[in-house]
Amino acid sequence: MSKPTRASDTPIAVEVEAGTSYFWCACGLSKKQPFCDGSHKDTDIRPVVFKAEESKKVFFCGCKATAAQPLCDGSHKST
């Protein structure tokens, strides 16, 4: 299993739109954080789909250590 790369020390806030699916970068290599840009292709990591149920601001994990993928669970403070 490939180890994800820490892309950010903090979560990334995004205004998501109800009914839209977002592909969160789990590998940390994307240049379009927090979203996948296909850079995971040489790893065995794949993006995680987040389907927005409502329009609101959410905090995607940037450190890639969250246990609540794709959202920040505070793990960036201890990793």
Contact positions vs ligand FES (CB under 6 A): 10-11, 25-27, 29-30, 36-40, 45, 47, 61-63, 65-66, 72-76
Shortest spacing between CB 31 and ligand FES, in angstroms: 8
The residues facing 50 across adjacent strands are 22
Q: Is the peptide bond before 70 cis (omega within 30 degrees of 0)?
A: yes
Shortest spacing between CB 53 and ligand FES, in angstroms: 21
Within 10 angstroms of residue 5's Cβ, the number of other Cβ atoms is 15
In total, the chain counts a number of residues equal to: 79
Shortest spacing between CB 79 and ligand FES, in angstroms: 8
